[in-house]
Structure formats: C-alpha cells, structure tokens
Amino acid sequence: MTVMEFVSDYLEYFVFQTIFAVSAALFLLLTGTQAGIVILLGISWLLVQLCMQAANFLRRRSRLKELESIMDGLDKKYLFSECIPKAQNNYERRILDLTKRAGRAMITAVSETQAAQREYREYVESWVHEVKAPITAAGLICRSTDGEIKRKLLMELGQIEAHVERALFYARAESPEKDFMVRQTSLASIVVQAIENHRSLLMQNDVRVETENLEQLVYTDGKWAVFILGQLLQNAARYRNSDPAVILSGRCLGKRVQLSICDNGIGIYPHELPRVFEKGFTGSNGRTRGGATGMGLYLSQKLAECLEIDLQITSEVKKGTRVILTFPAKDNLTIL
C-alpha cells in the first residue's frame, strides 16, 4: 500500500476532520478565544491526527505485506483463504469469513468439475475401445470383397479409425502423466509402426515413403510418438500433390536425436504457418480439401510438449512441408 492509496481510502475522513477543525477554530475565535491559543490548539490537533494516521498506515501496510508473503509462499494459491492468520479486528474478521466461504465454495466447484471431467474422459476412453471392435470387424468383412467398393470402404474405415484414435489421445492428453511411460525406444520401430498403422491410407493415395538413418535410440513413449508421427503422415497424404512422397530421416545431435519428416505436398501459406498448432485451425488448404478437423497438429504439439519433444514445422507453398521432431537426451528429461 502506498501513501496515496491510503489517503484515497481515507479521503472522506480527512475532509470531515478538516471541516470539523475549521468550524471549531471559527467557533473559538467568535467566542473570544485568543488567536494564539486557537493556533496552538490547531497545531496540537494536527500533530495528533498525523501520528494516529501514520500509525494506522504503517499497521495496514505491514498487514498487507504479511498477507502477500503468505500468498507468494503458497503453491496452491486457492488455499490462501485457509492460511490467513487470525483477524485483527471485527471488520477484518467478517471479511476473512466471507473470503473463506467463497474459497471453500470455489474448491468444491473445482473438485466437482474435475470429477465430471474425469468421468467423461473415462467414458470416452471406454467408448473408443468398444467402437474399435466393430471397426476392425467391418475391415475384415471388407477384405473378403473385391473391387472398387472394397477400396472405398477401407478408406472410409481408415478415416473413422483415425478420428477415433484422435479422440482417445485427446481425452488422455488432459492427464498425460497417468498414461505415458518414457523408456529407451528404437526410432526405427516408431517409424515402422506409424507407417504400418497408416499403410492403407498411404497406398490408397499413392504416397511413396522413404526412410533414412533410423538406427537411433530415443527416450520417449513409443505409443504416443507413433500417434504424433501418424498425424504427420495423415497430413502428408491429405495435402499431397500429383506424385506424393514422404522422406523420414534420423540424425544424431550429440545426446539428442532428430527425426525429420519431409513431404513434397501443396505446402502451407506463410501467413497461416504460425497458427497451425492452434486448436481447430484448418487453414485454406484444409477448407479446400475437406475432412480436416484442425486437431491433428494441435494434439501433436500438445503431446510433444508432454514428452519434452521439440516440434518445429517449416513449409513452402507448392513445394512441401518439413516437420522436425527433436527427442530430448535422457539427462535432460524431467519426466523420468
């Protein structure tokens, strides 16, 4: 609290006291009191008021500093109302009681909301696992048929499975620490699994896949890394050109490992590139090609942050897009 803030809070009091002092002085002068005595009384009264208000100011400022220190020392700021020391007067006691009631109500509301979100997330995860069974069964039925219908049905089933998988990881991303396990993993196995998961999509879109220098070991959660890479492969297939190709190459950077995913697709406009990781952003190409949800890169970035993977993207219109995943060194990981 500053002096000006204190004066602003007590402005009405100071105005009243000034009016009272002037009125008392005039009364004393009109009743024949000597001017010197009136002046002496006025100075005495002023000194007393200054001392009282200075003490009041120092007491209030000290109290605020104490409360600010308690707040700064709390990891969970919402528990501040429960940690406030005993009130110094009745007015403050009433204010602190109201603050505590509001804090408890807020904690209850947050707890209920978290419980509802947890139940919804568990339901989504359960639903995803249940819906995968009929999708797999439908795929097996389609494989027993021939012709163009088979190809189209498999493509549509692949899209459904991709959306279902995205919903599962979106639900898990709200509490990632409960689902991932970081361990030493082969980069080649991650790439091979991602390609295998999207083989039908890549083949149906005639996307040529090349791999280079993947004999590296990385520290990550293989399942999550496969999902991230799968989103990038889906984008490469969706935003392809007439002769689509994707090159996945690894590179060792000291204790870190870098995976580069380069395609020769239609690219991303420069003014849209900074927004590709925003939730729900589809961009001009997404609206033109259709089928885009704006969730793939958003989820990839979010999960990469959880795994402490640095994800960078560059692109040039009509020439292609390059995504670089830099896996952290074991020594630098904070999630182990």
Helix, strand or coil, per DSSP, at residue 185: strand
Same-domain check for residues 76 and 210: no
Spatial separation of the C-alpha atoms in residues 167 and 130, rounded to whole Å: 13
Whichever domain contains 286, its CATH number is 3.30.565.10
Does this model's pTM top 0.85? My answer is: no
Closest CA to 241 of 321, 162, 180, 133: 321
Residue 138 lies in a domain: no
DSSP-assigned states of every residue in 10-64: THHHHHHHHHHHHHHHHHHHHTT--HHHHHHHHHHHHHHHHHHHHHHHHHHHHHH
Closest CA to 265 of 300, 288, 236: 236
Residue 289 lies in a domain: yes
User: What residue numbers bound the domain in which 308 lies?
Assistant: 184-332
For the chain, what is the domain count? 2
Residue 168 lies in a domain: no
Select the highest-mean-pLDDT range: 1-10, 93-102, 232-241, 284-293: 232-241
Spatial separation of the C-alpha atoms in residues 28 and 327, rounded to whole Å: 86
Q: How many CB atoms lie within 10 A of CB 117?
A: 13
Question: Where does a domain end: 105, 124, 139?
Answer: 105
Please give the average per-residue pLDDT across 186-206, as a whole number. 89
Which residues touch 93 (CB under 8 Å, ≥6 apart)?
87
Residue 16 lies in a domain: yes
Q: How far is CA 126 from the centre of its chain?
A: 25
Q: Which pLDDT value is given to residue 208?
A: 92
How many Å is the Cα radius of gyration of the chain?
Answer: 34
Q: Which pLDDT value is given to residue 314?
A: 93
Residues 319-330: tens digit of each pLDDT: 999 999 999 988
Question: Where does a domain end: 90, 105, 120?
Answer: 105
Residue 123 lies in a domain: no
**Does the pLDDT at position 289 exceed 70?**
no
Helix, strand or coil, per DSSP, at residue 241: coil
Closest CA to 184 of 249, 255, 280: 255
Residues 222-253: tens digit of each pLDDT: 888 999 999 999 889 888 888 899 999 999 98
**Does the pLDDT at position 176 exceed 70?**
no
Spatial separation of the C-alpha atoms in residues 193 and 78, rounded to whole Å: 44
Return the percent helix, strand and coil in the chain, to nearest 5.
65, 15, 25
Question: Where does a domain end: 62, 77, 105?
Answer: 105
Same-domain check for residues 189 and 322: yes
- Residue 237: both structure tokens together: 């297939």
Same-domain check for residues 194 and 318: yes
